[in-house]
Amino acid sequence: MNTKRFMKWLAPMLTLAVLGAGTVARGGARYTSAFCVRNADASGHCYGSLVAFRNHENGATSAEFSVSSDGAMLFKAEFAPTATAPVTSMSCTPNAKVAAFWDKALLHHGYFNIYWDAAGTCYHLYLSNGSRYF
């Protein structure tokens, strides 16, 4: 194979390799933040993804959306800001507006943000899915 012919063959291969490497760089990126705060009056909020809570540096950190056989809905989180900090428990039950989206929260794999008041009522739920929130 002569040099000119070889270069014509090689150019498309290199182009595909470069383009392929560029498209893989962010594919499947995961949202890795998990955070909760419970205020002195027991109100608070959590945000992140369930995967991020599961993979948190403190093995006791967790979050869940649940519904029981009697229809009772609950958000529950156990959170510690570091691997060695004590875990804080927090939970809330949704108001009617948030309860309307609870079935979506149960199946959600992306980013979420949930707020509750001092009485333990979830009053705001934000769900987002996207390529970065796997």
pLDDT in tens, 97-128: 999 999 999 999 889 999 999 999 999 999 99
Q: How far is CA 108 from CA 11, 28, 66, 126, in A?
A: 44, 16, 12, 11
Q: Provide the mean pLDDT of the chain.
A: 83
Q: Which region among 2-6, 39-43, 100-104 has the lowest average model confidence (pLDDT)?
A: 2-6
Reading the block at residue 124, the tokens are 């705001």
Segment 19-40, tens digit of pLDDT: 444 444 445 555 578 999 999 9
Q: How far is 83 from 60, CA to CA, in rounded Å? A: 9
Alpha carbons within 13 angstroms on the beta-carbon side of residue 25 total 6
pLDDT at position 109 is 87
Phi, psi of 105 (to 5 degrees): -65, -35
